[in-house]
Amino acid sequence: MSKNKFYPMMQDIYEWLSKPPNYTTFRINRLKNFDCQELKNILLTQSTKLNTHEIPNVYLLRPDCLILEQWSNDINFEKTEKEVIVDVSCAAAVLRGAHVFAPGVMGLPANLHIDERVDIYGDMDGQCKRGLKITYDHKKMYVGTGYLKMLRSDLYDKGVHPSGIAVETLLPVSRLPVINESFFNKGEILLQNLPSIVCGWVVNAQPNECILDMCAAPGNKTTHLAEMSNNQAFIIAIDKTTQKVDRIREKCESHGITCVHAYAFDSTKCYNIESKGMQNGPPYPSNCFDKILLDAPCSGLGQRPQLVNNITPKMLQSYKFVQRKLITAAVELLKVGGTLIYSTCTVTEDENERMVAWTLENFQCLNLVPTEPLLGGPGLPNCGLNDDQRSMIQRFSPRDDSLRPVEQIYKDTIGFFVAKFIKVK
């Protein structure tokens, strides 16, 4: 990942961002009965393929958060010299423990057979033309090995719209286990980054609370809030497009959730002083929500691994304007005494600390309060907040700060930010 695509304050963590975390996090649905032994049995089966007697460590960080560590360093596979080229987003997913799905395959030799072991490479330059047969000579990164499940005819023949698993990943370079939700009963377990789970803990949804999730797709945090409330909160989930809202509804159904009401709407416009109530969906009148989660649209520069980044300074500057509009709407909708939780999955100052400073300056009715449980590090210095304010927010990054020590597990995750406000008047 190129340094020069980042603001100077980000250049000291670009290497961290270019690598995946050393563990996988799952959220456990507390409305269903998940047995951790199921996962251990799957790992035992996989250990046979990997020719090892040890399985990765599995443990519950909290009742709704499961941690899965890496395979042993003793496992080794020689390269096959049979290269499958995948796009860079697919390569990043493989490093996080995913299979290779058909749309991500750019190049595949013609002389391969089903279930043949292949080497998986990411196209780092974006120069590979779909359907390449010969060896790819541009910049590429080896990301893992796996078994071929589709041939060229399945991927590239005229009229074919490929879907499904093209390469069943055996072992990524990251050594993260290849585990996905389809291995379990529907809605029991969800792949989710640790800071996103922490964000749900900060919201701490309770029965009978009226909660708004302003930018809810794909519904991971929405379902977490519903599960935390034992499916007894009243939750409104909003996102812009019908397709995204349909996904939220599908996820709620699979999780056994009935307390979420999802709408396709522009959340920057979801406050309207003339609205008569909440019965017919957005827009809503002022002072009607106990809690609001604003997991804001952002530059996404905290996602790991970021193998390539093409974001421009102009694009980076654009996010803060929509974030300000969303915060403005949220303040109107929030009840006095209610809480607003603001989060992003990025690492820039403008979208995080400086956005908190802007909010406090422009909305005297809001007080900043601690984002308990405080598990990530404090906010960055010299970004418009004093030390007391920095200590109340959470920034997930590899940095150390004397204001608050951070356990390693909360440092080796994605870049993320959480702040919490209470409306006092």
Catalytic positions: 345
Full DSSP string of 339-372? EEEEEES---TTTTHHHHHHHHHH-TTEEEE--S
Which amino acid, one-letter code, is at 75? I
Contact 257, 277 (CB under 8 A): no
The Cα-based distances of 98 to 88, 143, 255, 258 in angstroms read 13, 11, 22, 30
Spatial separation of the C-alpha atoms in residues 309 and 119, rounded to whole Å: 24
Calculate Rg over the CA atoms of the chain.
Answer: 23
Determine the residue type at 203: V
Structure tokens at 296: 């804001």
Q: Which two tokens stand for residue 228?
A: 């935390």
CA 78 to chain centre: 32
224 and 232 in contact (C-beta within 8 Å)?
Answer: no
Nearest one of 235, 286, 284, 290 to 262, comparing CA atoms: 235
CA-to-CA separations, 75 to 81, 82, 132, in angstroms, rounded: 19, 20, 31
Going by C-beta distance under 8 Å and a sequence separation of 6 or more, which residues neighbour residue 280? none
